[in-house]
Chain A
Amino acid sequence: EADIYQTPRYLVIGTGKKITLECSQTMGHDKMYWYQQDPGMELHLIHYSYGVNSTEKGDLSSESTVSRIRTEHFPLTLESARPSHTSQYLCASSEFGGSQPQHFGDGTRLSIL
């Protein structure tokens, strides 16, 4: 049963709009992640956080930004959406330290027209 929630599941929106993808987890995990995945391709880390007020950029450069004001909430924002942002965005969380399993949300499929 999922303890990490992403909204919306699907979003089709026009170019230039500001978008916020929501991610919340109820497990009290310190570490949270955002991944981007194009169809048929591997996941790429775009942002991660070690805890409140911590945000780091991942391996894949992204025009999106994130914030971590509360432990349970890790939203991702695109200030001005473009067609190149069309992709699936997956949020995950894990306990901090060592090699901990990651728990994934169901993802948001974003399509920019």
Chain B
Amino acid sequence: KNEVEQSPQNLTAQEGEFITINCSYSVGISALHWLQQHPGGGIVSLFMLSSGKKKHGRLIATINIQEKHSSLHITASHPRDSAVYICAVKFDRGSQGNLIFGKGTKLSVKP
């Protein structure tokens, strides 16, 4: 079954802390996306990756294909990073090539 699991479900951090959000998936994928959803509901695509590591500003995303695991790191966290972070994958087989989404990690960064 094509499944995506995220941890933790909720995360509270102090401003400046290093944050890690994890994503595991069940079977082979062709791509993994990290998305950010703000309280208003809109979603922004942060990264799309199929191997290795990508960096954009204070955000870093890594993926280990063999272990079927990806992490999203936020360095020097700031209250404006507070949002829900969503992992979504495109599985090699099934799901008609559409994305399957995790439940999200709700991050709250306190000043």
Contacts and interface: CB of A to CB of B under 8 A. Distances in A.
B41 interface: yes
Nearest to A88: B41
Counting contact residues on chain A (CB < 8 A from B), the size range is 20 to 34
A58 B98 contact: yes
Interface of B is mostly: strand
Contacts of B50: 99
B41 A45 contact: no
Given A59-B95, A99-B31, A107 B104 contact: no
A7 to B, nearest CB: 14
A102 B103 contact: no
B42 A107 contact: yes
Interface string A52-69: 000010110000000000
Contact of B101 (A42, A56, A105, A109): A42
Interface string B25-45: 000001101010000111111
B48 interface: yes
A59 B100 CA distance: 9
Interface of A: 2, 33, 40-45, 48, 56, 58-59, 88, 90, 92, 99, 101-107, 109
Given A43-B88, A104-B42, 14 more contacts: A2-B42, A42-B103, A43-B86, A43-B101, A58-B98, A88-B41, A92-B43, A99-B90, A102-B99, A103-B45, A104-B43, A104-B45, A106-B40, A106-B42
19 contacts: A2-B42, A40-B103, A41-B103, A42-B86, A42-B104, A43-B101, A45-B98, A48-B98, A59-B95, A59-B100, A99-B31, A99-B90, A101-B33, A101-B45, A103-B45, A104-B42, A105-B42, A106-B41, A106-B42
Interface of B: 30-31, 33, 35, 40-45, 48, 50, 86, 88, 90, 95-96, 98-104
